[in-house]
Amino acid sequence: MATSFDSTIANLGISSTANGAAKTATAKSASLGQADFLKLMTAQMKNQDPFDPVDNTQMVAQMAQFSSLAGITEMGSTLKAIADKLGATSMQDAVSYVGRTVLTPGSTAYGRSAGGIAGAVELGADASQVTVSISDANGQLLHTADLGAQKAGTIAYDWDGKDLAGADGGSGPFTVQVSANDGTQAIAATGLVWAPVTSVSTTSGAAVLTLPGIGEVPASAVRQIG
């Protein structure tokens, strides 16, 4: 038994063979375009019962709904184009990290060309005592920095590269350990080291930096760029 849709197609002068092709095309595309909608609406008006015409209010409502749908579809395409553009920009920004040095949480640091290293300590609360210990690759203690009492926040330090005996401590890699307390209990302390960025990748749109001795670090963890 022919459906109302089949009847409408037949009234448009489309053969059953073409109708089958139309169904095949419909299977590939489950949505109607603007031209399809207008064609069907025109067919509906041409084949309406003159004694029981389509209600004007209903027709206007259908057109308004289709107009809204078309607008949403166009908006979706525009937003996708914007997202693609932002994604490309994010990748360009990520690539700009390569060859730079970044200050990030870590415990491995490499010496500067002038010798020694610089870094920082992030304190979660005020501390009465903050200490930074620097050792060589063999675990031999080279230097201990007593930073004294410090307020919560970030405290920078700089080591000139000389060991406890005043000799050159080498170029590293060095292991940096930080600790802090308020006299009675330990205070949360995070060591920050400078490291060169050797490569960068993106995971789900987020940039991930590869740092020697530290590994992969998300760009969001970077505190400063040198």
pLDDT recorded at residue 63:
67
- Amino acid identity, position 141: L
Residue 45 and residue 72 in one domain: yes
Residue 107 and residue 63 in one domain: no
The two structure tokens encoding residue 57? 């209010």
Q: Does 69 score more than 50 pLDDT?
A: yes
Q: Measure Cα distances from 64 to 6, 58, 68, 76 in Å.
A: 25, 10, 6, 18
Residue 42 and residue 105 in one domain: no
The two structure tokens encoding residue 105? 């949480």
Residue 10 and residue 27 in one domain: yes
Tokens 């490291």 — which residue?
A: 195
Residue 146 and residue 202 in one domain: yes
The domain that holds 113 is classified in CATH as 2.60.40.4070
Q: For the ranges 15-19, 45-49, 168-172, which has the lowest average pLDDT?
A: 15-19
The two structure tokens encoding residue 56? 């004007």
Residue 11 and residue 84 in one domain: yes
Residue 20 and residue 107 in one domain: no
Q: Which residues, in sequence order, are bridge partners of residue 203? A: 206
Using the 3D structure, point to which of 45, 67, 94 is the last residue of a domain.
94
Question: Domain limits at 162?
Answer: 101-225
Q: Does 21 score more than 50 pLDDT?
A: no
pLDDT recorded at residue 47:
72
**Is there a contact between 106 and 144 (Cβ–Cβ < 8 Å)?**
no
Residue 88 and residue 107 in one domain: no
Assign 27 a pLDDT band (cuts: 50, 70, 90): very low
Print burial letters for 130-151: b (CB count within 10 Å at least 16), e (below 16). bbbebbeeeeeebbebebeebe
Q: CA-to-CA distance for 207 and 226, rounded, in angstroms?
A: 17
Residue 75 and residue 45 in one domain: yes
Residue 105 and residue 131 in one domain: yes
Using the 3D structure, point to which of 75, 94, 113 is the last residue of a domain.
94
Please count the structural domains in the chain.
2
Using the 3D structure, point to which of 64, 94, 124 is the last residue of a domain.
94
Residue 131 and residue 111 in one domain: yes
Q: CA-to-CA distance for 170 and 165, rounded, in angstroms?
A: 13
Per residue in 31-46, pLDDT (tens digit) is: 556 667 677 767 776 7
**Long-range contact set of residues 150-153: C-beta below 8 Å, sequence gap at least 24:** 150/121, 150/123, 150/126, 150/180, 151/123, 151/126, 152/123, 152/124, 152/125, 152/126, 152/127, 153/122, 153/123
Residue 54 and residue 112 in one domain: no
Per residue in 134-157, pLDDT (tens digit) is: 999 899 999 999 999 999 999 999
